[in-house]
Amino acid sequence: MLSSLLEWARILLITAFAGTIATLLLPEGGLKGYVKLAAAAVTAAVVAAPIAGLFGSLRLPSPPPEGSAGAEAALSVSAAREAVANQTALSLEEAVKNIIYEKSGINCRAVNIYIQKDKLDQTSELSLEKATIDAGGDEGAVKAAGLPEYLRGMLGCEVEFTDGGEGGPDGGAP
């Protein structure tokens, strides 16, 4: 214990001494301020290192065993994340409909946003997988307005325009 305290004090003195020498050797000017800041940051890190070491030895709690109250709470958290993802998808669908209408004057029949739900338990971020948009036969006007590229950039996912299953892209037979 005493040897580690002496080692820490020695490193602190060397760090402070090196920072002082570096600032004394530099001429007055803008760079000297940055060197002082860097030296102070390194010294503060050396001072805080023993405190970080105390917390490094703490053990994190393990996941609750199956069938326990903690496992049920984890399931409810999973269900809550699923509900948030579904509500977010609905809100995005409405927003995309509004954007398409504002930019092209086309009232879409349907907009579907698909969220990658397999990652919901691993992260709090939602990742969009795909957006399908039924422009009601006006895909050409939507594409002419530059909306596919705009929506890909805004949503960060694949954007697919369909005709709602009423034939091919030209409205005829599939």
162 contacts: CB under 8 Å, gap ≥ 6: 132, 133, 134, 135, 139
- pLDDT for 5 equals 80
Using pLDDT thresholds of 50, 70 and 90, give the confidence band for residue 148: confident
Q: Average pLDDT in the 111-128 region? A: 71
In contact, 134 and 162? CB cutoff 8 Å = yes
Q: Average pLDDT in the 92-118 region? A: 81
Using pLDDT thresholds of 50, 70 and 90, give the confidence band for residue 115: confident
Pairing assessment for the beta strands 110-115 and 128-134 based on DSSP bridges: antiparallel
Measured distance CA(130)–CA(115) in Å, rounded = 7
List pLDDT tens digits, range 40-80: 898 888 888 777 666 655 555 555 565 555 555 555 767 77
Comparing 148 with 142, the larger pLDDT belongs to 148
Does the pLDDT value for residue 169 go beyond 50?
no
**3-class state of residue 117 by DSSP:** helix
pTM (2 d.p.): 0.47
- pLDDT for 7 equals 86
- What is the pLDDT of the chain when averaged over all its residues? 75
In contact, 150 and 133? CB cutoff 8 Å = no
Using pLDDT thresholds of 50, 70 and 90, give the confidence band for residue 168: very low
3-state DSSP helix/strand/coil % of the chain, to nearest 5: 60, 10, 30
Question: Fold for domain 83-162?
Answer: GMP Synthetase; Chain A, domain 3 (3.30.300)
| Amino acid (one-letter) located at 174 | P
**3-class state of residue 39 by DSSP:** helix
Question: What are the start-end ranges of the H helices in 57-145?
Answer: 69-104, 139-144
How many CB atoms are closer than 10 A to CB 45? 11
- pLDDT for 73 equals 57
Q: Where are the domains of the chain?
A: 2-56, 83-162
Does the pLDDT value for residue 26 go beyond 70?
yes
Percent of the chain, pLDDT > 90?
1
| Residue corresponding to tokens 């930019």 | 103
